[in-house]
Amino acid sequence: MKIESFILKIASHCNLNCSYCHMYNMGDLTYKNQPKFISKENLLNFSTKLRSYTGKYSIPHVFISFHGGEPLLTNKEYFVDCIETIKAINQDLEITFLMQTNGLLLDKKWAEILKKYSVNVGISLDGERKINDLFRKKHNGKGSYDDIIRNLKSIQDFDVVKGIISVANPDVDPFDFYYHMKKVNHHQLNILLPNINYSNIPAFYLPLDKFIPETSSWLISLYETWKEDTNRLSIPFFELIIQLISGYENFGNHLIGNCENGVAVIETNGDIEVIDALRTSFSGATRGNINVADHDIDELHHIELFKKYYFAHTTDLPHDCQKCEIKEVCGGGFLVHRYNKNSNDFNNPSIYCEVLTDLITYIKKDLFYETA
pLDDT tens figures, 310-341: 999 999 999 999 999 999 999 999 999 999 99
- Per-residue pLDDT averaged across 72-79, rounded? 98
For the chain, the average pLDDT equals 96
pLDDT value of residue 365: 95
- Identify the band that residue 260 occupies on the pLDDT scale cut at 50, 70 and 90: very high
Class of domain 5-371: alpha beta
Whether the predicted pLDDT of 372 surpasses 60: no
Q: What is the pLDDT of residue 67?
A: 97
Q: Is a pLDDT exceeding 80 seen at residue 16?
A: yes
Residue 369 pLDDT level (bands cut at 50, 70, 90): confident
Task: Specify the 3-state DSSP secondary structure of 208.
Answer: helix
pLDDT band at 370 (very low <50, low <70, confident <90, very high): low
* Cβ pair 185, 152 in contact under 8 A: yes
- pLDDT recorded at residue 270: 98
pTM for this predicted structure: 0.95
Average confidence (pLDDT) over 213-230: 98
For the cut 70, the answer to whether the pLDDT of residue 104 exceeds it is yes
Q: What is the pLDDT of residue 371?
A: 59
Give the residue-averaged pLDDT of 184-201. 96
pLDDT digits 0-9 by tens, 269-298: 999 999 999 999 988 899 888 999 999 999
On whether the CB atoms of residues 329 and 360 are closer than 8 A, the answer is: yes
Give the ranges where the chain is alpha helix by DSSP (H): 40-56, 76-89, 108-116, 129-135, 145-154, 174-184, 208-228, 236-245, 304-310, 327-330, 353-371
The share of the chain scoring above pLDDT 90, in percent, equals 94
Q: How far apart are CA 63 and CA 183, in angstroms?
A: 28
- Would you say residue 94 has pLDDT above 60? yes
Peptide bond into 247 cis (omega under 30): no
- pLDDT > 70: percent of the chain: 99
Residues in the chain: 372
Q: What is the pLDDT of residue 226?
A: 98
Given a cut of 90, is residue 38 above it in pLDDT?
Answer: yes
| Residues whose CB falls within 8 Å of the CB of residue 295, separated by 6 or more in sequence, listed in order | 49, 272
For 53-66, what is the mean pLDDT? 98
Q: What are phi and psi of 295, to 5 degrees?
A: -130, 155
